[in-house]
Every structure is written in C-alpha cells, then in structure tokens.
Amino acid sequence: MILNHLEVAYVPDGRGVLTFFVLSGFLITWILLNESRRCGDISVKNFYIRRVLRIFPAFYVFWFLHLLALALVQRALTKSAVADYASSFFYVSNYHLALSHVVHHSIAHTWALSIEEQFYLFWPLLFAFYQSDLRRFSRFLIVVICAIDLYRIVLFFGLHVTDAWLNVTFDSRVDHLLVGCLLAISLKRGVLPRFWEFIASRLWVSAATLGLIIGSIALNDHYHARYKYAVGFVVDPWLTALFMVQVIALGRTCLWGWLNWRVTSYLGRISYSMFLYHGFTNRLAVYLLKGSPKFLVVITAICLATLCGTAFLRLKSKFPGTRNVAAPLQTTIQPA
C-alpha cells in the first residue's frame, strides 16, 4: 500500500488490501479453532478484549494526533472534516466514503479497518454457533461467499452501483475475509489432503499460482471494472488463499525462505501501525525529498513508516491465541 500510494509503477491498486482481508480472516479463524480444540469452547468476551487491546490503542492515538494536526493547521474544522473523522472514530468510514465518494484529510484508508471491525462484531458469535460442526460451517460459508459474489455482480451490472460502494463496503467485500476463514477451517478439518499436498509441496506449483495472480492483475488493468467485479473479486481471494498456504508450507525453500527472515517477521509485527501512518510518512518523504529520484522517496517513506511502527510496537496481550500461527500450519501440510 505504501508503494501504491506513492504511485510506484506496476504496483497494483488494491492488491494489498485484498491480501490483508484474506490473511486476516485466516488468522482470526485459525486462532479460534485452536482455542476451541484446546478448551472445548471459545470465549467471545476474550476475543473482543484481545481485539480491543490489539487495535484500539494504536488507532485512537493515530486518530487523535491526526485530528490535532489538522485543527492546528486549519484552526476551524469544516463540516466535511468533522464527518470524516466522526465516521472514522466509529469505524463506519467505509460507508461514509461509499456515500460521499471523497474522504479528505488522509484518513480515507481507514475504510479497510472499518470492514475489519464490522467483521469482528459478528464472526466470533457465528463461530461459536458452528464450532461443533465444522463440516456444516464450511458448507454455510461456501453458500455465503457464492451469494456475495452473485450479489456484487448484480449490483455492478444490474443496478450500476458505484465503484466506491463495491470497493469499500462491508456487504461487497466481506467474502474476501470469509475465504480466509474457510481456508482455516478446511485445513483444520483435513479435507482434500491430496490436493493440499500437491499444491503445497512443489515449488513450480507455487510459482504457477503467483503467475495466475499476476495474470489476473494484468487482466484487471486491461478490462478494468468489468473484469474486477465479475471475475477478479471472485477468483483473486481464492488464488491468494492458495498462495498463502504454499508460501507457508514452503517457507524453508530458497524461493520463499525470505518470508521467514527476521526483518520480514518484524515488519509483519509492526505492519498495522505502518498502515495507519503511511499516509503521513509518504507525504513527509515526498516533502523532504522533493525533486529527488523516486527510489529515494520510496526508501525514505518505508523507513519513516517503519519508525512509526516501531514507536507504537507494544507487547501482545496476555490472552492466548496470537502466537506462532505458521508453525501449526506447517505441521498440517508438510512439503514432500
């Protein structure tokens, strides 16, 4: 997202958010599955406590500092600014953006966090209801994902709904989170073992999946909205889910081993804060290096975002279930 918002050539728009949704759905569900297996049930209360401690402190510090800086610059806030910040504060900026089409003041990216928080409201309750019958749960998720795909296609081709609505609203994007959820449940159930062994034990298959993702990005750039909403938003989450399994299972190979480097893992730990502050750090890098080559601006922006992420890095909560997700997944699918 940092590179995309700096308009680096060939960096696809929206790919980071889509991957973020699929990965988030997978990780949250994997954590709940482990808790359910270990304890026989999940604590919905602890789930919400973990999410609050993980997300709210960094977000509301960011929100307050951003609003304070704007107030100092503009003195009197416009009605538009008040609406923007109010919607962001209550995690409904996605629908505010969809209806107003433009959100100013560098907080437009909070629409993705709004979808996440809206997902967290219902997911632990739904999981608690279905946790004793994962097979039935899987069937339910498949039906819901297919229904949302069809719903989005009808919105675009039949009702001519705006791109803003289709891109940023919960009802149009939650299927991408649910694909990650279904992936976690399928792996935990151990369904289709030969399929998973095949795709996750051969480097050439992982390279082929990456090629399909790149091909889909190219088709999206060529056909734009027609492809994006009829095909891209349908197949890309599944390709992303498959690719996630492959790079985790092949994490010790020469091709994907860099994903387990210390620096990569560290960036993953601070990625949330980097995401929050990247709008500010991108602008600061552009301002400080005005007239400099693009690669220097990009490097500076990444370094500044990393500093912000490091500054807001905090210890994980004492509630269990957030550590070492990749390790149990690697024991579920072992490369040949």
Q: Position 114: which residue type? A: S
Rounded mean pLDDT of 64-87? 85
pLDDT in tens, 227-239: 999 999 999 999 9
Instruction: Using alpha carbons only, give the angle 81, 84, 87 rounded to the nearest 5 degrees.
Output: 145
pLDDT in tens, 125-180: 999 999 999 999 999 999 999 999 999 999 999 999 999 999 999 999 999 999 99
Shortest CA distance to 25 belongs to which of 187, 182, 213, 232? 182
Model pLDDT, residue 105? 60
Model pLDDT, residue 333? 52
Whether 311 and 39 have beta carbons less than 8 Å apart is answered as: no
Model pLDDT, residue 278? 87
- Residue 95: how many CB atoms within 10 A of its CB? 18
Q: Tell me the pLDDT of the chain averaged across its residues.
A: 88
pTM for this predicted structure:
0.89
Which whole-number Å values give the CA distances from 102 to 45, 67, 83, 96, in the listed order? 36, 18, 11, 9
Domain edges within the chain: 2-270+313-332
Model pLDDT, residue 104? 62
Q: 103 pLDDT band (50/70/90 cuts)? A: low
Model pLDDT, residue 273? 86
Burial of 266 from C-beta contacts in 10 A (0-12 / 13-18 / 19+): middle
65-72 contacts, C-beta under 8 A, 24 or more apart:
66/105, 66/106, 66/107, 66/280, 70/105
pLDDT in tens, 22-55: 999 999 999 999 999 999 999 999 999 999 988 8
Q: 331 pLDDT band (50/70/90 cuts)? A: very low
Model pLDDT, residue 20? 94
Model pLDDT, residue 40? 93
